[in-house]
Amino acid sequence: MGNSDRMLEKGLNRREFLMGLAATGTLLSLGQTNSLKAEPRVTVNVFSKHFQWLDHNGMAEAIAEVGFDGVDLTVRPGGHVLPERVEEDLPKVAEACKKSGIKISLMTTNITDPNDPITEKVLRTASKLGIGHYRFGYWYYDEKRDIVEQLKEIKVKMSGVAELNKKYKIFGGNQNHSGTRYFGNAVWDTWEIVKDLDANYIGFQYDPQQALNEGIGGSWEISARLVVPYTKTFVVKTQAEWGSSEWTKAVRREGKRLEIITYNEFKWYFSLMKNAGFSGPITAHYEFPGLGGVENGNKELKGITRNELITIMRRNLTILRDMLKETGLA
């Protein structure tokens, strides 16, 4: 049974049906594949922040060796591609990935302003290469100014970027990053804006771990359910190594207690997205100690070899893929 048949069986209305078709993983890649073949419904990618110690060729080779489908490429200041050099360097990275058998599935950018000429340059170049998703940069609240007025200003900018996204057929997602002054950390503030925009081109890169940081008592599950129709990509953030299919609710790091998403909570979220018909890229973030500094995006690998790092990443990836299969998401 095809994607369209399954969506019709769910009783979706025409608008939802068309949105679902637009989000399926059957769109052809422009410039990153040699043959006409359907994309997987869900792809598992890795944040290139963790490979900043390698150039783009070494990065692509290492990511392929771990076993990921592709990369969430940093196209931002200090990243693998500098925004001002996107036209020159992004095609080179795409070619390196192609040679290694992976693709650039999504980008992490610093895009926040539709009137910045670099914004359109990044989106235009990405579109030509068949990159279908990216994450915005960050907007911050000014504690000395009225929140409602700031939301109005952010809505103007997000609406402008949404129009560019539509022009270049690319989806922009806002990450619900935890922290005192991040726009989006509450999730509801982003939803208030994107609910009135075209969900094919703007919405969420939902991060369950960041949501848990802000809503330990269970509100993160409510926010996850709320934003499902606007979530076209999401983050799997591991903040403790997965040695087995079970891990503890909390770990201690530098004397501080840190809540982490558990195995069962991830399974709940994957099941939620599976039941919603999610189709798109997942981005994996490795953010626990013992990775030689790559968890922080360091430019140099220390205290661990390349092969040791790849072994740890591969072990976590195996468990992630098992969870995805168990819940039927992939």
Is 12 a residue whose pLDDT tops 50?
Answer: no
Q: Is the pLDDT of residue 120 over 90?
A: yes
The fold of 43-327 is: TIM Barrel (3.20.20)
pLDDT at 255: 62
Query: For 57-61, 220-224, 245-249, which range has the lowest pLDDT when averaged over its residues?
Result: 245-249
* Average pLDDT over all residues of the chain: 87
Q: How confident is the model at residue 132 (pLDDT cuts 50, 70, 90)?
A: very high
Could you tell me the pTM of the whole model?
0.85
In angstroms, the CA 283 to CA 70 distance is 9
Q: d(Cα 181, Cα 144) in Å, to the nearest integer?
A: 11
Q: What is the pLDDT of residues 51-80, one digit of tens each?
A: 999 999 999 999 999 999 999 999 999 999
Q: How far apart are CA 267 and CA 327, in angstroms?
A: 6
Phi, psi of 4 (to 5 degrees): -65, -40
- Above 60 in pLDDT, residue 176? yes
> Which range scores top for mean pLDDT: 153-167, 228-242, 248-262?
153-167
Give dist(CA 22, CA 296) in Å, integer.
35
For residue 44, name the pLDDT band (cuts at 50, 70, 90).
Answer: very high
Mean pLDDT of 305-310: 96
Which amino acid is it at 128?
K
CA triple 38-81-93, angle to 5 deg:
45
Residue 244: what pLDDT? Answer: 54
Residue 146 has pLDDT above 70, yes or no: yes
Structure tokens that stand for 35 in this block: 């043959």
Return all residues near 307 (Cβ < 8 A) that are at least 6 apart: none
Q: Provide the pLDDT for residue 2.
A: 44
Mean pLDDT of 270-288: 95
Give the pLDDT mean for 106-127.
98
Q: Answer whether residue 253 shows pLDDT above 70.
A: no
Q: Which residue has the higher pLDDT, 220 or 33?
A: 220
